Each structure stands twice: as C-alpha cells, then as structure tokens.
Amino acid sequence: MTTIIFANLNLISKFHNDYFREQRRSMVELLRQKGIEDKRVLEVMGELPRELFINPSLHNRAYEDTALPIDCNQTISQPYTVAFMTSLLKVEPGNKVLEIGTGSGYQACLLYLLGAKVFTIERILELYEQANVKFRELGYNINTRYGDGTLGWKEFSPYDRIIVTAASPRIPTSLKEQLAIGGRMVIPVGNKNSQVMCVLERISENDFKEFRNDHFKFVPLIGKEGWESE
C-alpha cells in the first residue's frame, strides 16, 4: 500500500511539473508575440517557476499575463512588465545589480539566473523574511537587506545596474549616486496612478542620459526619497 501511495504522489508531482512547464512555454510565446526579443530574458523566465512565488490558491493563474496579489497588500508584477524591465536593464553576467523592492523575490531570482551578483532591499519585514526563505530553498546566493530602498545600499556601491520595482515620484538622488559610470537604472516614475518607465544611464561623474518608455502602474515606492507611508 505504501508503495502505491508514493507512486501516486510521484505521478501527481509529474503532472504538476509538466502542466506548469507547458504553461511557462505558453507564457514565453506570448511575451515574444508582445515584442520581447531578449532571448536570455525569455530563457530564464521559461525556466523559473512563477508559481513558487505566489499563494497556492493562485497557482492556476501563475502564468496569466497579469499582476497577482502577494502578502502585505503587494503584488508580483505581470510577466510582460517583468520581461520589459529586465530587457531594458541589459544585464550582463557578472554585473553587480541592486534591486529596490524584493517583494516575492521573483525578479531577484531572474537577475541571479542571468548571472548577476544580486543585492535586493525590501522595506516590509514579512516579505523580506519570506524572500530569504525562498532564496535558501532554491540555493540562490542573493544578498538581502531589510530597510528603506530609496536610500540604496551604499556599502556595496557602485552598481552596474539598478532596478526599482515600485513607482517613484522622481529618481532618488541616493540611487543616482550609487550607479556606476557606464551603469544603467530602470525605474517607473510618475504619480500613484500611472508611471513612465525611465532608463537612466550614467555617462560620467555628473552627467546622466535619460530615456522614457511606455506607461505602467506599480505599487508606490515608500521611503525617504519616495512616497511617504500612508
């Protein structure tokens, strides 16, 4: 009887793995159709199980192209938004990347799979602790910090890349200062209802070049150089 039970469990596990694997393939194909061309980004998004980063009650929606709720009134961004931002970031293996807003941990894991040395900051203690557990379970060496992400993580600066996964009223000065010369930052900037995806490149010690892309909607970036806590 025990053998039969384990065999059934293995069969169920295989079914779920095959099901989610097919769902990931469909998601990647949709992202291609929507204009995402970065093959490395598509490859890692096709490998990393998004269902691991959401509540089990939402597993059947893991690969919908939509944002989904996580704990603490936060969200995991829709796959297209993640792919778009990550493509704009242009991560190269060995880059030192600072992420502001760990959230579920999904974005940090994608950066890690792209070969980056990842530093990520989360201001909500519960999410910070959950993400740490997830990184350990996956065996990913991701550096984490609990605190105000708008101030960055000066100790390990400068960073080759900085990605901000929440909406800021402006580009925080602290983050600009911690961006390496030749580095690139991707950050949604605007009001709390709509933001423009900005790409900031640091040309020299005092010179920056800014590009603006499509409109998106993110949860607000809370902190000293972001929005005040409500």
Contact 200, 193 (CB under 8 A): no
Residue with token string 């384990």: 6
Strand partners, 168: 189
**What Å distances lie between residue 186 and 71, 125, 164, 214, CA to CA?**
25, 24, 6, 12
Which of 107, 76, 84 minimizes the C-alpha distance to 32? 84
> How many angstroms separate the CA atoms of 162 and 164, rounded?
7
> How many angstroms separate the CA atoms of 16 and 102, rounded?
27
Residue 174 known to be catalytic? no
Q: Which of 77, 157, 168, 174 is catalytic?
A: 77
Residue positions annotated with a catalytic role: 77
